[in-house]
Amino acid sequence: MMKNFFLRSLPQEDGGNWLYAGLVAGGIVFFILFFLRPFGLGQYQGNLFVLTLPFTAWAVAGTYAYGWLAFKPWVRHTATWRVWHQCVAILLLLCLISLGNFVLDWIWFESEPSMDHFLGYTYETFLIGIPITLTTVALDYQKRLRNRLATLLQKDEAAQVGQTITFHDSSVRGEDLTLAMADFLYAEAQKNFVDIYFLNGDRVEHRQLRATLASVLADAKDRNIFQCHRSF
């Protein structure tokens, strides 16, 4: 299940607002440092607000630069951008922010740089960043699905303007039913008959025809009308 999710395509917008993304990243870093106070900041005796400013500024600048210099070229050179690409891209951004935080910590506190210190920063950053990454990617994926669905519905409604559809009744005295494509709702099989549900003004009405779902689907001749179990 998770493997299928990570392999799903996630098309990217050409004009992504990386300044906005940088401001969001800076806001998250400020909130974490100022309110949650990881990395032993709870024992800091100085002005914590002033301390968080350079780390916040680095998150904004680093995210903005990463978006333009690394992320956008990567997307352009990738045939199909998938969910796992997005996750890896955000994790690499977290590594960049972690590296910057490590350098700022070394400058601000004049601490001796060490691999253990760097790995500690990386661990804390990933501990906080991975849940944020998964949540962000999942929400972004759902948002893009909703936007694509809304676009498809708009195009479908525009394409259906002025089009009609005729459903044939195979009974001896039956009369064919002709509807505007936009008024057709769905069809449901009832033994040897099919109930056609449609809009008539502001009301939902139905008409029973002697037909099959297969024949109704053939009459529809529209790929946006599909069969689902006994109705479509």
pLDDT in tens, 96-105: 998 998 898 8
**How buried is 130 (Cβ within 10 angstroms: 0-12 exposed, 13-18 middle, 19+ buried)?**
middle
pLDDT in tens, 149-164: 676 566 555 555 667 8
The confidence score (pLDDT) of residue 230 equals 44
The confidence score (pLDDT) of residue 158 equals 57
The confidence score (pLDDT) of residue 217 equals 78
For the chain, residues with pLDDT lower than 50 are 223, 229-232
Q: Per the confidence metrics, is the pTM higher than 0.85?
A: no
Helix (H) or strand (E) holding 206: strand 203-209
Distance of alpha carbon 49 from its chain centroid, rounded?
Answer: 34
The confidence score (pLDDT) of residue 232 equals 40
Amino acid 135 reads T
The confidence score (pLDDT) of residue 182 equals 74
Distance CA 31, CA 12 (A): 28
